[in-house]
Structure 1
């Protein structure tokens, strides 16, 4: 159980909230992982045997964060389709450069080739 207490302290340090605060900073994850993340945080808190309440009460979805940022940007008043937001988050679009790898992997749109 010492490992769970250590793990909880490491998560708190990683998230960057004040260890003395009642609540930690929010955690964001994909929608389909939200229940799992909440359950894991609850389990780690329970197994750490801390008597205070769980500080990780704010687990939000990345999809909702992206939609909120888009809507608050003022560039559009139309809410983007959730599927489009999800696909954008899952796509490896930021580190792919065409013609960087071999022609075989370039045709497959594979960003992992270093030949």
Structure 2
């Protein structure tokens, strides 16, 4: 048995991926953060996975979607999250659209001008 403080960043990242497959997201986040601190080869992907988990915990928070979108800029292609594979470009587009839609839904429309602006933002998200 190897204790966590003796593991390098890559081993911690691998442990985190196994925890994600088991749907142990809180434990996985801790391992991913440790992997980043220990400069894992997959630090950018670890950041994406942390943000992905946080989006799942705050589905109506546009800031979380923006943070995930920003993190996705640092990786390319596809990545595995648990048993699913995600295309980075498509996921980034979805995050951007969700952030716009959430912000638009939360806009207060007090008059016709602001109602039109809110409608334009919702159309932009679609």
| TM-score, L = length of structure 1 | 0.31
Determine which structure has the larger helix proportion and give its number: 2
- Answer 1 or 2: higher relative contact order, Cα 8 Å, separation at least 6: 1
Structure of greater Rg: 1
